């Protein structure tokens, strides 16, 4: 079945460091791919998405490129801030309207001043 694998955390970085959180997926067909963020005590927020191969999603300085050849959707940010500390989830949705998102396990990011 479809699945998403994320790098295990926690990831601890100093402010202004470069961030990469790896995400790979297994899916039939061509799913849409997403990154969600969960700040402490809050629900999930959609960070960015890509709906087809080679698309680049971007938001708030974060970027991720849909790589069909490597089945990957790695999240990157050039310079993290303390306020980026959160749990990040990679997810995919099947084609068709099923109401179902398949999430990775989540990666905790802690940014220190």
Partner 1 sequence: EAGVTQSPTHLIKTRGQQATLRCSPISGHTSVYWYQQALGLGLQFLLWYDEGEERNRGNFPPRFSGRQFPNYSSELNVNALELEDSALYLCASSFLGQGVTEAFFGQGTRLTVV
Closer of 33 and 80 to partner 1 (Cβ): 33
Among 26, 68, 105, 112, binds partner 1 (CB under 8 A): 105
Cα 35 from Cα 28, distance rounded (Å): 19
Q: Are 44 and 93 in contact (CB under 8 A)?
A: no
Site string for partner 1, 28-57 (x = CB under 8 A): ----x-x------xxxxx---x--------
Q: What is the DSSP letter of 42?
A: S
Q: How far is the CB of 61 from partner 1 (least distance, A)?
A: 22
């Amino acid at each position: 079945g479809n699945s998403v694998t994320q790098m295990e955390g926690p990831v601890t970085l100093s402010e202004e460091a470069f961030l990469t959180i790896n995400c790979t997926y297994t899916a039939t067909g061509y799913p849409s791919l997403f990154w969600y963020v969960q700040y402490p005590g809050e629900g999930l927020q959609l960070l960015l998405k890509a709906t087809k191969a080679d698309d680049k999603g971007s938001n708030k300085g974060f970027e991720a490129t849909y790589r069909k050849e490597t089945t990957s959707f790695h999240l990157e940010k050039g310079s993290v801030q303390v306020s980026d500390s959160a749990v990040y989830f990679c997810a995919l949705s099947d084609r068709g309207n099923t109401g179902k998102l398949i999430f990775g396990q989540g990666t905790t990011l802690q940014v220190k001043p």
